[in-house]
Structure 1
Amino acid sequence: MRWARASVATVVVSAVVALSGCQTGDGDEVTLTFLNPHAGAYEPVAEAFEEANPGVRIELQSVPFEQMVEQTQARLSSGDTTIDIVSVDPPRLANMVEQGFLTDESEFLPKMRANVTEVAISSITVDDRQWAYPLWTSDNFLFFNRTVLEQAGLPAPGPTSADRLTWEQVLEMARTLVESGAVRYGLGMDQVDRYYALQPLLESMGAGPGLEGDENLTPAVDTPQWLAFGEWYGALYADAIGPRGVDPAQMVDLFRSGQSAFLVGGASAIGRIADGDFPGEWGMAPHPYFEGGPIVTPTDSWAIGVSATSEHQDLAREFVQFATLDPRGAELASSVNTLPPVQTEAFDSYVDHIRQLAPQQTVGFGDLFLEDTAEHSRHRPTSVGYVQFESEMNTAFGDIRNGADVERVLADAQSALELQLDRLRELSLDAEENE
């Protein structure tokens, strides 16, 4: 599904003016290779850049998300000069910077500030330096089956932050609907078992992000607060409020088919729900929080960086800036997978598109998104050990969902992370001593 209102031809006019310095000059074709995990997503913006810059070709090398870290590590650590541009997942940025994979883009901070929010800039900042360009952002919402709620005499959640429900209220309604047989499941999460989706719940409950200390290299996932969250999460599935054995990719379809009363999901779910044959009426509301705790929402998404081993860094930078900081370029770069761009003008166009997809359900969507981002969002912890942390915790959450003992699972995760992160700390100290 594409939402960019400007055609590629229209964008080219702007791109020619903004990027006229990119001409190769010697008549030779230059190929820029862009390693990314988003097959098809960048074709519109690559096409626009190529048309504006004869002699430049963007080669999109897309790999599955599960292989992105491995591919990036293997190719950039070997000094592969054929990679010019690379997708960057913000919580993994510190590790990429530590290994020297990216160019320092700090001199372009004023240009970033003119086009994107400080929250977005902070996501690509390590040691007060900027190492990539933010492209997309994110938030989660509570989707609900309005018809089922009304038939059960339960109030539908409101659309504004002032209407935000607590998790206690959501689960009370979910349990009522499951026990009455109105739905098969009360609650689904489109990123079930993934740290991205569960971090806001952990922090709202007071458990903390799970990494602390210098450079976030000290795990803290076996605290009483984490144990309390683990028991809460496990009970969701032990009590059949949430589904076991359902893959994250199936969660939106479960809700769309009427089998789940509530769904926690991102903005990308709106189009999928609106395009489907929903059995009744649906709505969306702000992400819940725990009673007595802070409102916490997720944020950040993929950024784009310039490879430190590229032989065409200036030209690669021009493409990256066009795709992230130029309004039309950012709109094109976000048009295939409908993720929210952080470029301010492109974001406004994105909100208009979302409103067209589901006019009744998305009243106030843009204002809520901006409020969540500015006031309630929490970045995932920046750490050279984030890859190990996320992998370990995603496995732990999956084990808890499937009924494993919470205390044992979290104790095992704590021990495994202590070993892995201690090793990373030692390697970092060795590197500093050898400088």
Structure 2
Amino acid sequence: MVSEPLRAYGRRVLTSLYPNLFRAVVQIVVAFTVNLPLFILAVLSIAFIPLGVGVVLAPVVFQAIRSVADQQRTWAAEWSGVAIPSPYRPEPAGAANPWRRLRWLLADPASWRDLVWTILNVPVALVLGVLAGGLAVYGLEGVFLAPWLALISGYGWGPFWPLEDWGAAGIAGSVVLGAALVAVGGPVGPFFLKAHALFGQSLLAPTRAALAARVEQLAESRSETVDASAAELRRIERDLHDGAQARLVALSMSIGLAEEMMKHDPEMAAKLLAEARESSGTALTELRDLVRGIHPPVLAERGLDGAVRALALTLPLPVEVRIDLSGRPGGGPAGRGRLEAPVESAAYFAVAEMLANVVKHSRARRAWLQIEHSGDRLIMIIGDDGTGGADPAAGSGMGGIERRLAAFDGTMAVTSPPGGPTVVTMELPCALSSPRTSPSSGTG
């Protein structure tokens, strides 16, 4: 009678056979039907770049390789628990231009590691796939198929058994060795699949140099964010001390003096109270302006779209505004959502500072503003027909905008030749929340 532990082990072996075999077959099929053709196409597309055909073909092929590599990352995590982070550089502004897209893809070291993985995965997937699923299948053939063929024809084959006239010994040997292969091949299959995942991780994950650069970038960004926050707090404190606080102190003194003058000189007391009322209105205006500088109420109520449109109306020059936050190729308000509050605030103040620069420094007669959400990025483009020559290092406020965006892994690119025009492109990685769950979905 077979013991319960042995039966439990047998059930585990048989249960693991199907997923191991399926995954091994998938890896082998993908390697030969997808990886190998993509590698050949990639080599040909690179060779055809001087002819112009490769300029269009190479980006398509490398994007396809990235898609296959991303699928491999998903399988490695789901099947073997091996996490492979994405190492790719973010897509730059203007990547729709074929030359810029080609330069972005070929300048990324991760693209070349993907290409190496694409060709090396062909033999590696074959060997590890056969070991992951083939041993158990070969063992099952030795247990069930080979003995029946031997009984019918007198000849047979089995694990480690030559083609010959068998007999009872041959059949018994085939069954025993086949069962041993099944017993071993089932449990070790996941280890070979994990070995394949680790092979993919060695080429598809970010390199140590890339991780070190990323850590350095994050440390620098954090430092700049802390400095910017400290400067913002000092500004708020200064504005409160020099503005509203001073006016409130003067208001208190005026009211106190009016109380003293009420008995002896009611006319002067009335005049002091009128001045106090005027001072209170000025202090209230300054407090409102200070609050708007921290987080404009219109931004909380109407979102980035409404806040930016309201801001553009206050400028002394015409601003053409085009905003699409639908996140869909066709646009439209039906799909409009909201950005996360910190990202929304950073985007608003970046646009506000840039428009303020246009008014103060550009001598422009008109400006234009375009904001759209594409994929997982918010793209903001501000341009003007002014004199040009804008330099982020010249202390015009652009450096502060760049630091504010860097805190969210955002980027800023400035094109401003002498004589103009000036075009500033800012990008922020972000996602849109659902319109039903957005912060202002219930407001009018």
Q: TM-score, normalised by structure 1?
A: 0.19
- Greater radius of gyration (CA): 2
* Bigger RCO of structures 1 and 2 (CA < 8 A, at least 6 apart): 1
